[in-house]
Structure formats: structure tokens, C-alpha cells
Amino acid sequence: MTAPLLSVRNLRVEFPNRRARLVAIDDVSFEIGRGEILGLVGESGAGKSVTGAAIMGLLEPPGHMTGGEIRLDGTRIDTMPIDQLRRIRGKRIGMVFQDPLTSLNPVYRIGAQITETMRVHANISEADARARAIALLAEVGIPAPENRIDAYPHELSGGMRQRVVLALVLCTEPELIIADEPTTALDVSVQAQIIALIKALARNRGTSVMLITHDMGVIAEVADRVAVMYAGRIAEIGPVRDVLKAPQHPYARGLMGAIPSLAKKAAGHDGRLTLIPGNMPRLSAIPEGCAFNPRCGEAIDRCRAERPSLLPAATSHVACWRVTS
Amino acid sequence: MKDTPVKALVEVDHLWRRFDVSKPWLNRLIEGAPRQTLTAVADVSFEIIRRETFALVGESGSGKSTVAKIIVGLIAPSAGDVRIDGISMSDPAAAAQRAQLRRRIQMIFQDPFASLNPRWRVARVVAEPLRAFGLMTEQQAIEVRVAELLTLVGLSPEDAVKYPHEFSGGQRQRVAIARALAANPEFIVCDEPTSALDVSVQAQILNLMRDLQDQLGLTYLFISHNLAVVRHMASRIGVLYLGRLVEIATPDELFGNPQHPYTRLLLDAVPDLEMTGRVRAAVEGEIPNPISPPSGCAFHPRCPLAFERCRSERPELAAAGGRMVACHAVAADAR
């Protein structure tokens, strides 16, 4: 395998407050290869979005990186001065957010927003930029792009707006797209269109995608590999089919059992969904050892004392003493 | 379902709801803009039998929540009627009976962060129906009842003194369920009760709702856009498209063999967790503007089966092999 496009090593992000330093991301490492789609799943507060923000250098103060490194194509970007980082952000790494209406400027026509972005990052004429913008809008599946380019965001439907956001991200030909819940605000039939589009773009352009979502179904459709996060740590990472079909980490197993299925009526016995006892720990009270141990039915003494490392297990990497020892 | 001997608890009878979305009077006068109405619910009829879970599914703007609000009486229908246990929800002559009926109907909302008063302690939130309906007046008895309800939904009686912000989303939804159960209702309308929750918490709430149904003999109207959740919960499912019911069937029928082309599109669009590698039909277009819905069958511009009749004549919901479908193509096939 060639060098990965993105490599995150031992990432640690803290949010200090008056009482304590809350560790939102604790020793997270992963890589994304060229043209690969990595899914990042987990429940609210697992640290998915913070991971994305850390890569983009967009952590909201007081949150900041307190350890680890992030490399894009071998170059460290987390320590880069802001003016250099700006040339990478938007140019080499694009970002798609959940709500397309808030990521578009409501008072500019969509064409103006796309051409402006292009001209910031590349030296091309207004006319060329416009022609390329029309081509891009066509590529993301907007009908009659030569007319729609002069529309304002409010004139478009939610699905169309998310397509415009994708065009806006693609216009600088980024190598990596970080998509944070790109389909969560959309209806299922539109979601299916956007998912298919992201998949096709990654395949045709060789763009790498980090897809952040809580929806396992979306991951199953799009991702090549998936990382399951829990309490700011990666519990399991591996090929999507193996992790979803045969999860090894007890949390990943519980999560898959908790999802009602379309294909069959009952997941557990007598039609009940399997439950993970207890709740996600607060960031201020993450348990010693494995963060999942108080909710885990299989925990042993070692789980309560020593934090499990992410170790190879079959085709995946799993952070669980019961699985890896 | 008309000839079932069991009397339905809820009868929804040719329900319509139109909203006036015209510009203000002055703009209409100056710009000559016409009046505009949005038909959110169009000719919707169904029945809910005691102790069943009837689910309504559809995408945004399909009229799910409007139907729910009309049924509990939060908004009035433009035409048609809802009868619960035979009592009309809009007939002025039935006002006295309706006051008695109110206690027996409750609602659970989507967002437990918005549906609980942040300045009230949980005890007061849960006891509100008891006080509002005058069921209990003595403080001692109310406290006992609140403790009982909190235990029933899997919280601790000590939680009564806490404020909503001290709870997680799933726990707040439990508080909302305890409040809904306070007045011993028979019928609960659940409008996207788990959409704001994480999957593991969603599983807890869905299991709780099923247990409560078995224990207390509740009847649910369950509104959701999540087809997998609906399949898990419902005994019958109605699919709404642009304010109209296009198909009513049991989960096994609907998911095993969807008939209406829109139902098929909807099922096809759901991401495939099983990873069977099936090739999905490309989904075309989006829901049209409900202010000017297409003529004939509202789905015809997106429908692969549409023919001439679909463009001119609106299909009625008709029985087709044990279920109800509103589609000319399906009806022609059956013949």
C-alpha cells in the first residue's frame, strides 16, 4: 500500500472548563488511503465531529489539540501556521456540513459563491470559472445548470442545496472531503440520491472521503472501511462488511443489535431490540480502563484497570481485552 | 378493514386540512397575487383498532404531523371528521362528551428538549395532567402517583425533584412518556418519538413503549419517517404522499411485497444495512410543491408505471389483496 493521504496519529483533543479538562478525543489514530471512503460512526458525544474539526483546524475554543499529529500526504498540518493552513483548507480538504442552508450564503447567487471559491484558490478568469461552475452543477445532478447558477440558495430544495454544497466543495478539486452528517437533514429518497452522488464522485475523481454519520445504513452503502467511536476513542475499525456483519467489540455488537431492521421483524427474542445497559458516560466521568467496561457484560478485571489498545483482530483492529488477548 | 367486527377506537373519516399560505392582503392588492392554499391533508380515512399500533410514514411535507395534530384536536380539520370511541372531535354538539374524552388521549412529541418546561421540576411536569383533569387534588396522593409513574418508565422516584436539564435525551423522553401516562389514557399519539435520539437510546424507548402497550393495553398512532422503526413497532402501516394515503398494509405485506410505486421507491431508498448488494432503482425527483400538486395521481411525475389515466384521474384507495392501495396501475394489474 502506498502512503496514506491522511494520517491521524494519537490525536488528543481537550476542552478545558473551570472544573476540569474534558478529553473529547483520547488517543485516536487512523488513516485514509487515496480514493478511500472511511466512515466514522458513533452516538452523540462520541467525538466524531470533533475529529473532523481537528483535521480541518476548526476546533472551537476552548477546545484544542493537546497531543498527536495530523498529516496530509506526509506533511504535518496541525502545526502549520494559519496562512498556510488556509491554502489547504477548502483547496485540498473540502468540508460538507449537515445543514446545506447554513453552509451557503443566503444573499449571494450560488454561481457567485462557486466562482469566488475557485478564484480564491486558482488563477482563472471569471468567464472560465463560470463555465466550470456550470459543468460542476451538471456533474452533481442539478437540472438546467445554466439557469440554476443564478438562483439564490432559498430558491432550491434541501436536496438541491446539498448538491450545490458538493459542487462548491468540488470546485477546488480537493483530495479529501470531510462530510459531517451530509444526509441527516434530508428525506430518505433524497438521501439515497446524495449517497449515490458522493459514492460516484469518490470513484470517478479518486477523492478520499471521511464520512461522519450516526446512520449505520448510510455507512453500509458508501464506506469502504468504518471506525466505530465510543467516548472519544475508536472501539473498532475495519472493512465495512466485517465490522457491520460481525462486529467484535461488545459496544459495536450492542449498537448493531439496537438498530431495528427493515429485513426482519425481530432483532432479539420476542421482537425486542437488544439493549446496551446504561448510558454513555459524561466526558467529565469517563471510566478507568476501557471506557465501555461498566456497560459491558463481558468485562474482566483487566478492563477496569487498563485501557485496551487498538490491536489487530481478524481483518479489523479492535480495542478490547477480551477480543485481542 | 370496514367489515371487521371489532369496533375501531379511532375513526378518521375523509379528513381534509388546508392552510392559507397567501401573501398578506396588501401584497395581494398591490402585486395582484392570488390567494394560495396548501392542502396538507387530503381525503385521509383510516381506522385504528384497540390495542394496535397504527403507523403513518412519509417524507417531510407528507402531512403526517398534521394528521396527528387533528386527531388529538390541536388543530381543526377543514373537512371530514375524527371520531374517537364514537365521539366526534369537531361536532359542537359533542363538546361535553369530548371534555370527558380528552383525558383518554395523550401525545408524545419528537423533541424532549422542547416538550418539557425547563423551569418545572419533573414532579410538576408529570403531575400536570392529574391537576389539569382534576383527577387528584391531595398532594400526598399526587406524589405517590408520580413516583409510581417514574418507576413505570424506568426512572427513579428520586428523579422527581430534578429539572429536565439534568437528564439526557432518552431520560427526558421517559419523563414525557410518564406525563402522557399520568391520566391513564387509552390512546397515545406518538409524533416521531425517537427521531431526536441515538440508536441505542432509541432501542430503549421503543422497547419501553412496547412493554407499556402490553401492560396497560394502550393504542398507539405512531408517526415516523424511519421505516425500520415503523416495521418494528406497527401492526398496520399507512403510507402518506403529499397529504394522501397511498397504501395501507400490515408490516409483512408492506415490506415483503410493496404495491404502490411510491412505497416501493421509499423502501428502495432506505440504505441497505444487510449489504445484500442489491441494485437499487435510481430514485428520480423530489416531493413536488404541495401548493400546486400534480394533476391526477400526485405521484405520476415520478412514477415509472404512470400511464394516461394517472395524469388525469386521481386513484381512490381501494382494497387489493387484503390491503388498500391507491394506484391505477396496481388496480389494472389485479383485474
> What does the pLDDT look like over B144-188, one tens digit per residue?
999 999 999 999 999 999 999 988 888 999 999 999 999 999 999
Alpha helices in chain A (DSSP H): 48-56, 82-88, 100-103, 110-121, 126-139, 145-148, 158-170, 188-205, 216-222, 240-245, 250-257, 301-305, 321-324
What are the chain A neighbours of B203 within 8 Å (beta carbons)? Answer: 257-260, 273-276
Q: What mean pLDDT comes out for the span B201-212?
A: 92
What are the chain A neighbours of B170 within 8 Å (beta carbons)? Answer: 279
Q: Do A188 and B286 touch (CB under 8 A)?
A: no
User: Which residues, other chains included, contact B180 with Cβ-Cβ below 8 Å and sequence gap of 6+?
Assistant: B106, B107, B108, B129, B188
What are A's interface residues with B at a Cβ cutoff of 8 A?
A: 43-44, 157, 159-160, 187-193, 195-196, 214-218, 220-221, 240-241, 244-245, 254-255, 257-263, 265, 267, 271-276, 279-280
| Residue B259 near residue B239, CB atoms below 8 Å | no
Question: Which stretches does DSSP call E strand in B109-224?
Answer: 187-191, 219-224
Terminal Cα-to-Cα distance of chain A (whole angstroms)? 27
Which segment of A163-172, B86-95, B227-236 scores lowest on mean pLDDT?
B86-95
Q: Do B204 and A275 touch (CB under 8 A)?
A: yes
Q: Do A245 and B267 touch (CB under 8 A)?
A: no
What are the chain B neighbours of A44 within 8 Å (beta carbons)? Answer: 169, 198
Which of A220, A258, A275 lies closest to B275 in CB terms? A220
**Arithmetic mean of pLDDT over chain B:** 89
pLDDT above 60 (res B4):
no
**Minimum Cα–Cα distance from B209: chain A residue:** A272
Q: How many residues does chain B have?
A: 335
Which of B272, B280, B286 lies closest to A217 in CB terms? B272
pTM over 0.90: no
- Local structure of residue B76 (DSSP, 8 states): -
| Residue B180 near residue B130, CB atoms below 8 Å | no
Q: Is B18 helix (H, G, I), strand (E, B) or coil?
A: strand
Q: Do B227 and A188 touch (CB under 8 A)?
A: yes
C-alpha cell at B19: 392552510
Whether ipTM > 0.85 holds is: no
Q: What is the pLDDT along chain A (325 residues), one digit of tens a residue?
A: 568 999 999 999 999 988 888 999 999 999 999 999 999 999 888 999 999 999 999 998 899 999 999 999 999 999 999 999 988 988 999 999 888 888 899 999 999 999 999 998 888 999 999 999 999 999 888 888 999 999 999 888 888 899 999 999 999 999 999 999 998 888 888 888 888 888 888 889 899 999 999 888 899 989 999 999 999 999 999 999 999 999 999 999 999 888 887 776 544 445 678 888 888 888 888 999 999 999 998 899 999 999 999 999 989 999 999 998 7
> pLDDT tier at B6 (50, 70, 90 boundaries)?
low
pLDDT for the residue B81:
92
Q: How far is A261 from chain B (nearest CA, A)?
A: 5
Q: How far is A84 from chain B (nearest CA, A)?
A: 38
Q: What mean pLDDT comes out for the span B103-109?
A: 92
Minimal CA–CA distance to A251: which of A271, A277, A269? A277
> pLDDT tier at B277 (50, 70, 90 boundaries)?
low
| Residue A248 near residue A318, CB atoms below 8 Å | yes
Q: Do B200 and A258 touch (CB under 8 A)?
A: yes
pLDDT above 70 (res B198):
yes
Best of A187, A241, A242 to mutate (most B CBs within 10 Å, chain B): A187
Handedness of CA B81, B83, B88, B90 (dihedral sign): negative
What are the chain B neighbours of A190 within 8 Å (beta carbons)? Answer: 286
pLDDT for the residue B280:
64
**Minimum Cα–Cα distance from A191: chain B residue:** B269
pLDDT for the residue B1:
45
Q: How far apart are CA B261 and CA B122, in angstroms?
A: 46
pLDDT for the residue B13:
92
Q: Do A271 and B210 touch (CB under 8 A)?
A: yes
Q: How far apart are CA A261 and CA B300, in angstroms?
A: 30
| Residue A283 near residue A23, CB atoms below 8 Å | yes
Q: Do A262 and B255 touch (CB under 8 A)?
A: yes
What are the chain A neighbours of B231 within 8 Å (beta carbons)? Answer: 260-262, 265
What are the chain A neighbours of B194 within 8 Å (beta carbons)? Answer: none
